[in-house]
Chain A
């Protein structure tokens, strides 16, 4: 299986900060990389698909980049509702999807 490694595992940031989370795949996955936001007790939410496409209804402060093995999720100006855990997921090795271990974004 393709191993997805996120960094950092957690971070503390303030409202208004620019935050970047990275995700590295153990092999080339082209642009088959998706990002999710997950809050406790809620359903996970798709933010970015195909590495950089913004899912409908997601605020434009979220953006994604990268291709091949290295990817980023950037929140341009952190808002109070953005404190959550973020996961990357590869959909290259259909249908054996794998997730990163998650990055918890906490309030500083």
Chain B
């Protein structure tokens, strides 16, 4: 069965850093594009990025990487602010879906607060 499991979230001080991980199982990870999407409390889904492409709000603060040998996607975040408080999801782009995210993790919560 196909699974994505995020981890690494938690409480971080404003200006701090955090690294999120997303472990994939049940499929050949290296064959798929993987993205990060977030949802702030009470807000909608917001695309974060893929590979070297990021949403404007990232402003050079986030870095996405992957280790295909470990079936793991990463999101390194720095200079965090309260506006980055959100559930962070990793999502897989399906091969037949014309860019649709066909598999999602359950997310990991990041809270930026003093």
Q: Determine if A96 is an interface residue (Cβ-Cβ < 8 Å).
A: yes
* Interface SS, A side: loop
Q: Determine if B106 is an interface residue (Cβ-Cβ < 8 Å).
A: yes
| Number of A positions contacting B (CB below 8 A) | 30
The closest CB in chain A to the CB of B107 belongs to A43
Contact with B along A12-36 (1 / 0, CB 8 A): 0000000000000000000110101
Q: Closest Cβ of chain A: how far from B47's Cβ, in Å?
A: 4
Instruction: Report Cα–Cα, A41/B53, bound state, in Å.
Output: 27
When the two chains form their complex, are residues A43 and B104 in contact, meaning their CB atoms are under 8 A apart? yes
When the two chains form their complex, are residues B99 and A43 in contact, meaning their CB atoms are under 8 A apart? no
* Size class of the contact patch on chain B: 20 to 34
Q: Determine if A74 is an interface residue (Cβ-Cβ < 8 Å).
A: no
The closest CB in chain A to the CB of B55 belongs to A96
The closest CB in chain A to the CB of B47 belongs to A97
When the two chains form their complex, are residues A91 and B46 in contact, meaning their CB atoms are under 8 A apart? no
Could you list which residues of chain B lie within 8 angstroms of chain A, going by C-beta atoms? 33, 35, 37, 44-47, 50-51, 53, 55-56, 89, 91, 94, 96-102, 104-107
Could you list which residues of chain A lie within 8 angstroms of chain B, going by C-beta atoms? 1, 31-32, 34, 36, 38, 41-46, 49-50, 53, 55, 85, 87, 89, 91-92, 94-102
